[in-house]
Copies of this chain bind each other. A is one copy, B any other.
Amino acid sequence: MPRTEAVRPPGASAVDAHEPDCLHLDPETRKDAVRRLKGARGHLEAVLRMLEDPSVYCVDVMKQLSAVQGALTKVNDKVLRSHVRDHVSTAILRGDTDQIVDELMEALKYRG
């Protein structure tokens, strides 16, 4: 599934080769991420409602928060997979490998 916007001739200068504006999240993953994140937002709102009850039990809050985090991790993984497939795997053609590697390692550092 080649993405023309992500591919540049190997001769392109490494200095200005990486233009994030040209490395787009693929439309299908973007749509799926929106759908999942709306679900996670609904779940988060349910936790907020739980917390209105003065007799809420700590462990129940922790369980629900973990479920929300699981949903966000899933979205993050899907975006990551799409990024690796569409942009990291083609870095050699754009000549921006160093930058793409640094960005990826930074993004993984905080992965949930």
Contacting B at CB under 8 A, from A62-97, are 62-63, 65-70, 72-73, 75-77, 79-93, 97
CB of A72 within 8 A of CB of B72, answer yes
CB of B101 within 8 A of CB of A81, answer yes
In the assembled complex, the Cα of A111 lies from the Cα of B91 at a distance in Å of 24
Tell me the number of copies of this protein: 4
In the assembled complex, the Cα of A85 lies from the Cα of B110 at a distance in Å of 20
Contacting B at CB under 8 A, from A17-74, are 20-21, 23-25, 27, 30, 33-34, 37-38, 40-41, 44-45, 47-48, 51-52, 54-63, 65-70, 72-73
Residues from chain B with a CB closer than 8 A to the CB of A23 are: 57-58
Residues from chain B with a CB closer than 8 A to the CB of A103 are: 59
Binding site for B on A (CB under 8 A): 2, 7, 20-21, 23-25, 27, 30, 33-34, 37-38, 40-41, 44-45, 47-48, 51-52, 54-63, 65-70, 72-73, 75-77, 79-93, 97-98, 100-101, 103-108, 110-112
